[in-house]
Amino acid sequence: MTSARTRNRLVQRLIDQGIRSEAVLNQIRNVPRHLFVDEALASRAYEDTALPIGLGQTISQPYIVARMTEALLGGFQGEVVLEIGTGCGYQTAVLAPLVKKIYTVERIHELMRKTRQRLRDLDIYNVQYRPGDGWEGWSKYGPYDGIIVTAAPPTIPEKLLQQLAPGGRLIIPIGEQGRQELTMITNKNDHFQQTSLGAVSFVPLVHGK
């Protein structure tokens, strides 16, 4: 169930759906997604679908992870990224080797603790973790070349715009539950340019710790 054939089938599906970046496709092929879900669900880990990971949270669908990573990296390479909504760390693991450093924020401490250990076990060391409220971003290490948000706020958090470097990109699902728009926001110095990347469904970006 974790065979090369199963993983290649997933990669082919993403190519068919329009993912073009070789670097991103390689990461989808190489990151062992079955280690991010409960053993009971491991047989479904290479299906292109979101799955529950406990504590009311989900692991994102591979297509969406690939799409967001590709959109983020279209603007720059090898730089510093802020991630909001670490969850099980699958998106973090896909992105980590493609950038210099990831600062990641998750509000559920228990999830964060497990994820930190999981990514260490996978020899991923360029990630710094913070249990906290993603609405605040992480100003200490900003501004960031890229910001990727994997939970949906109803409106764009102002603090995230403030922490986006000139030329930087913010990839974020925006809207109420069940009807969100994946959005790319580019900091053009004198204004923010907004582009829609299509409909998505994420858990809400909850307010407060």
Contact residues for ligand SAH (CB under 6 A)? 57-60, 65, 84-85, 87-88, 90-91, 105-108, 111, 133-135, 150-151, 203, 205-206
Q: Which is nearer to ligand SAH, 155 or 189 (CB)?
A: 155
Shortest CB 116 distance to ligand SAH, Å: 13
d(Cα 60, Cα 171) in Å, to the nearest integer?
14
Q: Helix H segments across 74-137?
A: 90-95, 109-121
Q: Which is nearer to ligand SAH, 188 or 209 (CB)?
A: 209
Q: Which is nearer to ligand SAH, 133 or 145 (CB)?
A: 133
Cβ burial of 121 (10 Å; 0-12, 13-18, 19+) is: exposed
Q: Which one of 3, 21, 43, 60 is the catalytic residue?
A: 60
Nearest to 204 by CA among 181, 174, 182, 183: 174
Shortest CB 148 distance to ligand SAH, Å: 8
Active site residue 60: yes
Question: What one-letter code names the amino acid at 72?
Answer: L
d(Cα 108, Cα 6) in Å, to the nearest integer?
32
| Residues taking part in catalysis | 60
